[in-house]
Amino acid sequence: MISGLTEHVIDANGIQIHYVTKGEGPAVLMCHGFPESWYSWRHQIEALAEAGYKAVAMSMRGYGRTSAPQAIDAYDINHLVGDAVAVANHLEKGPVVIAGHDWGAPVAWFGGLMRPDLFRAVIGLSVPYMAPIGSLPEGIDINGLMAQTAGPDRDYYRLFFQEPGKAESDLEADIERTMRGFLYLISGDALRNGDIKEPFDGHFPAGETLSQQLISPPHLPEWITEEDLDFYVQQISGSGFRGGLNWYRNINRLPAITAPFLGSTIEQPSFYMGGSTDLIAGNTPEAISSMQQALGDLRHCEIIEGAGHWIQQECASEVSSAMVAFLEGLN
């Protein structure tokens, strides 16, 4: 565990929100993704605190010691950004930098779009910014478009997550195996070690489950220890997967919710890093090109060769150093 860490729990937005802090100075608020924990930022917490910043890492809605409301619509992007706003306001540090990885990246991107007065810069990892597209025509939704792309013979992990209870049953049957296998499957190590022939993009044969796609390595990669894995398992065992899965169950609502911001631009300084073998969450050359055109002040855009999805853990020193350099450029 990280030494010198302070834990906080606040009441906001009808729930309790847990976050940790270390260091003093300008605040950097970090948002994790699925199925993770504030602990995913452990390396950056240390690096930022040492560099003279106040490192702040949230337990996102549905995870760890933060509340996990029952209602599916309690996990839409407005609620998720609202929780980040609540923590930023509680810090009483003025405008802060917001950072996000995986699902935390859209929280950071849309936080920057919705509240430029509060978030002075945006850092996104592994999920490029996708500008609002406005409400879709009647009869068309994102899930339907994903199903068309998958075709009749394939399922897609985001579609597999849609039916309440189905994915929970699959993933919670053996949480340790799920976490071990999921962390490994979409890391750069699975491809490098020859356990998969091409990066996993989230598609798999129709009729199978996500857990059937997972690979449990005999030894964990160097970037994660058994103690680290135990912490993730402990956190997920307490909260279950339901809250995190409910984020995916709001994907269809995203275009309408963000429609008021159609045509708006994130003008604050921004930063993006991804891994070259990460195809799980839209980290494609086309998406990155679109992001570069949509952001008003993209100061750092880097793809790390050989890295997978868990970039701030797989390439901890590279990510931490790049983040600190970006932050120094803001001062």
Residues with catalytic roles: 102, 309
Only one residue has tokens 């275009």, namely 255
Strands 203-205 and 27-31: unpaired
Q: Name the 3-class secondary structure at 120.
A: strand
Q: What is the Cα–Cα distance from 124 to 302, expressed in whole angstroms?
A: 11
Q: What is the Cα–Cα distance from 66 to 189, expressed in whole angstroms?
A: 31
109: nearest Cα among 320, 264, 285, 312: 264
**The three-state (H, E, C) secondary structure of 257-280, written as one string:** HHHHHCCCCCCCEEEEEEECCCCC
Cβ proximity of 195 and 156 under 8 Å: no
Q: What is the Cα–Cα distance from 306 to 309, expressed in whole angstroms?
A: 10
Q: What is the Cα–Cα distance from 19 to 56, expressed in whole angstroms?
A: 7
DSSP 1: -
Cβ proximity of 20 and 8 under 8 Å: yes
Only one residue has tokens 């549905």, namely 62
The neighbouring-strand residues paired with 58 are: 19
Q: Which helix (H) or strand (E) holds 231?
A: helix 226-239
